[in-house]
Amino acid sequence: MAGYIEDRWLTKKKDPVTGKRARTARYGKGSRYRVAGIPGVRDKSFDVLEDAKAWLRRAGTDSERGEFVDPRDGSITLDDYVTRFWQAGVRGAPGTVKRIDERVRLHIRPHLGTVSLRDITPAVLRGYIATLEGECAPRYARQILTSLSNIFETAIDDKRLVRNPMRAKSVRWPKAPEDQREAWPLETALRVRDAIGPRYRIAAVVALGCGLRQGEVFGLSPEDVDFARGALRIRRQVQLLHGRLYFTLPKGGKTRVVDMPPSVASALAEYFLEYPAVEVELPWGGPEDDRERRKFPLILTTTYGNALRANIFNVEVWKPALAAAGVIPVRNEGERWKASRKDGFHVLRHTYASVILEAGESVVTLARWLGHSTPTITLDFYAHFMPEAGGKGRGAIDALLNRSDRDTAG
C-alpha cells in the first residue's frame, strides 16, 4: 500500500555511536507524525502514532479504490461552494436557470449558507425541512430540496463529500400532493373566450382547440398552420425573462405537430383576413444581447406590432375576460385582480385535455399533441378526466364470465 509515516521530531537514521535517533530542529513543535506519499491525498499530521497509522490504512485503501475524500475539503461553507464552484455549472433554459437561482438564493443560502458542507448533517436537514414546510407549499419545497440535493451530488463529484445527506433515511421530504390538473367546464371556457375582444380572442381559440401553452400561442406563425393537413406545427414560443422577450424552442426543447380541428382552422382563416401577421425580431434562446436574433411573422402581436408579453396580456386581456364571464370578481379602481393560479390561461390546456380524453382519444395520442415526453406524464396529470377508466374493463370481464357460464351450462 502506498504512503508512509514520517517522524518529524527525530531523524530517520540512528547515531552509529549511541544507537539512538537524534532530535530534529522541529522537535517539540507542532504535530509529530506526518502521513505522506498517498497518491491523490494531501499530507496530514497527527500527535499520536496510532492515529497516523489508522489514517494511513484508511486513506491508502480509499485512494486505491478511487473513493478517498479529504474531510478538510468539506470545510468550505455552502455559500462559498455554491458561488465558487456549483453555480457556474447550472445549465438549462434561461427560465429554468432563473428558477433554480431563486430557490438557492432565497430558500437555501439564508438558512444553510454559513454552514460547512461536512456539517450539514441529517439532523441539520431535518430542522431545515421543518422550517421550509412552514414557509412553502409542499410541491415548491420539494423543488428547493431537489436543488439542494443537486448541490450535494456535485460536491461528491468534486471530492468534498463522501455521501449525500439528503439521501439519509431519517431525512423525509414533504409529501408530494397529487399532481392532478383542474379543468373548467367547457361552458366556462367558452364564456371566457367570448368575453375577450376580437383582436386577442384567437389566443383562447387556439389554446382551447389545440392545447397550446401560452408562450406557444404567442410564438405561432402563419407558416406553422397547415390548412391542408389540419395541423399546427409548434416550433417556437415567446418567453419573458428579466423584462425582456425572446424566442425559444417549446418546453423540453422539442417541436411537435398538433391536430387542428376544422373550427380552429376556420377561425384562423378569418383572423388572418382581419389581422395580417406582423414580422417580429427577437433574440433566440435567451434575452441576452449577444444572442442570435431571428425574425418570424407572428399571428398575435400588439397594436404596435410587438410580440405579446404574458404579464401584460394576463392583466389587460385575460383577467378582465374572467371577470366579465363571472369567474373572478370585478375589481374596484386601484385594486389588484383577485384571481387564483387555477384560473390562469393554462387552464385552457387542461380543459382541452379533459375534452379529448372524455371523447375517448388515446392517452398516447394526447401526450404527443401536448408535447409530453411520455404518456405516463399525461396519465399522472389527467387520468381523472377519464370517467370510463375501469368501466370498459369491467364490462369486458362481465361479458367473458357470462359467456363462460353459458358455455358451462350448455
Across the range 302-310, mean pLDDT stands at: 96
Q: Which of 80-84, 280-284, 354-358 has the highest mean pLDDT?
A: 280-284
The answer to whether 239 and 215 have CB atoms below 8 angstroms apart is yes
Is the pLDDT assigned to residue 67 strictly greater than 70? no
Which stretch of 53-57, 60-64, 289-293 has the lowest confidence by average pLDDT? 60-64
% of residues, the chain, pLDDT over 90 = 58
At how many degrees (to 10) do helices 138-157 and 94-103 cross? 90
Confidence of residue 3 (pLDDT cuts 50, 70, 90): confident
Q: Residue 263: which of 190, 331, 332 has the closest Cα?
A: 190
Across the range 263-277, mean pLDDT stands at: 96
- Grid cell locating 82: 455554491
Across the range 387-394, mean pLDDT stands at: 51
- Grid cell locating 230: 389540419
- Grid cell locating 1: 500500500
Confidence of residue 12 (pLDDT cuts 50, 70, 90): confident
Confidence of residue 86 (pLDDT cuts 50, 70, 90): very high
Is the pLDDT assigned to residue 6 strictly greater than 90? no
Across the range 243-262, mean pLDDT stands at: 94
The predicted pLDDT at position 8 comes to: 86
Across the range 137-145, mean pLDDT stands at: 92
Helices (H), ranges, 301-390: 310-313, 319-324, 347-358, 363-370, 375-382
Is the pLDDT assigned to residue 168 strictly greater than 80? yes
- Which domains are assigned to the chain? 4-68 (no CATH), 77-167 (1.10.150.130), 186-385 (1.10.443.10)
The predicted pLDDT at position 160 comes to: 86
pLDDT digits (tens, 9 = 90+) for 210-232: 999 999 999 999 999 999 999 99
The predicted pLDDT at position 407 comes to: 55
Is the pLDDT assigned to residue 70 strictly greater than 70? no
pLDDT digits (tens, 9 = 90+) for 171-207: 999 987 766 678 999 999 999 999 999 999 999 999 9
Q: Is 255 left (phi over 0), alpha (psi -120 to 50) or beta?
A: beta
Task: Give CA–CA dist 146/141, Å, rounded.
Answer: 9
Model-level pTM? Answer: 0.69
Burial class (CB in 10 A: 0-12, 13-18, 19+), 22: exposed
Confidence of residue 393 (pLDDT cuts 50, 70, 90): very low
Instruction: Using alpha carbons, list the distances in angstroms from residue 321 to 79, 86, 198, 201, 317.
Output: 46, 44, 12, 10, 6
Q: What are phi and psi of 339, to 5 degrees?
A: -125, 145
**CB within 8 Å of 87: residues ≥ 6 apart:** 101, 104
The predicted pLDDT at position 280 comes to: 98
Which stretch of 84-98, 189-203, 285-299, 376-390 has the lowest confidence by average pLDDT? 376-390
Q: Residue 169: which of 118, 104, 123 has the closest Cα?
A: 123
Across the range 153-162, mean pLDDT stands at: 89
The answer to whether 14 and 50 have CB atoms below 8 angstroms apart is no
The predicted pLDDT at position 385 comes to: 79
Instruction: Write the DSSP string, 8-63.
Output: SSEEEEEPTTT-SEEE-TTTTSS-SEEEE--TT---EEESSHHHHHHHHHHHHHHH
Mean pLDDT of the residues in the chain? 88
Is the pLDDT assigned to residue 410 strictly greater than 80? no
Confidence of residue 334 (pLDDT cuts 50, 70, 90): confident
